[in-house]
């Protein structure tokens, strides 16, 4: 089973499903699931729609933000969502909810794929910048050498506006 139709859920049900392949386009890089995700999902009808509560452990591979080497990120994602028909969406005004209130998601179609549900939660879980280590020096912006392997042959950058000061300190 790859999806669930909310209109078919008349009483609380629970699912254990596996999402095998998932690649997230994060705009600046990609995140790829290393292992299949085992999603535990509970779906319950509510007064205005359906409540979805779930959790899954994950391991995703992302490039280091400095040197581009693969980094495996592990974690546990959990969520509580309230799915309501789009017709119930409030007009343009903000609706404030408490910290324990579920996030409300308005839908057009009442069919939810497990892969899209996991992808939405992974977008929230993956940090913007991932490092292979705190001491990562990254890549040389000129030649692309991995500075973690050693210094590159590029001369250091100097700002020509400071050239007059070097003449003051150097012997004539």
Q: What is the DSSP string of 118-164?
A: HHHHHHHHS-S---S-TT---B-TTT--BTTS---SSPPP--GGGHH
Whether pLDDT at 148 is above 80:
yes
Do the Cβ atoms of 120 and 81 come closer than 8 Å? no
Whether pLDDT at 117 is above 80:
yes
* pLDDT tens for each residue of 60-84: 999 999 999 999 999 999 999 999 9
Whether pLDDT at 99 is above 90:
no
The arithmetic mean of pLDDT across residues 74-100, rounded, is 83
Q: Please state the three-class secondary structure of 93-125 as a single string.
A: CCCCCCCCCCEEEEECCCEEEHHHHHHHHHHHH
DSSP state of 66: T
pLDDT value for 112? 92
Model confidence band, residue 96 (pLDDT cutoffs 50, 70, 90): low
CA distance 134 to 13: 44
Whether pLDDT at 167 is above 80:
no
Whether pLDDT at 110 is above 90:
no
Q: Containing H/E element for 58? A: strand 50-63
Whether pLDDT at 100 is above 80:
no
* pLDDT tens for each residue of 4-40: 999 999 999 999 999 998 899 988 889 999 999 999 9
């Amino acid at each position: 089973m790859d999806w669930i139709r909310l209109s078919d859920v008349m009483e609380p049900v629970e699912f254990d499903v596996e999402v095998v392949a998932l690649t997230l386009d994060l705009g600046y890089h990609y995140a790829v699931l290393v292992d299949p995700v085992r999603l535990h999902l509970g779906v319950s009808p509510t007064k205005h729609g359906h409540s979805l509560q779930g959790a899954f452990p994950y391991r995703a591979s992302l490039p280091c933000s400095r040197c581009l080497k693969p980094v495996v990120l592990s974690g546990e994602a959990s969520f509580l969502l309230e799915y309501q028909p789009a017709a119930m969406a409030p007009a343009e005004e903000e609706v404030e909810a408490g910290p324990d209130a579920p996030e409300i998601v308005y839908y057009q179609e009442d069919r939810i794929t497990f892969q899209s549900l996991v992808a939405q939660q992974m977008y929230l879980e993956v940090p913007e910048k991932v490092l292979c280590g705190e001491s990562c020096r990254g890549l040389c912006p000129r030649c692309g050498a991995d500075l973690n392997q050693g210094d590159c042959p590029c001369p250091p950058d100097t700002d020509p506006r400071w050239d007059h000061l070097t003449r003051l300190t150097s012997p004539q």
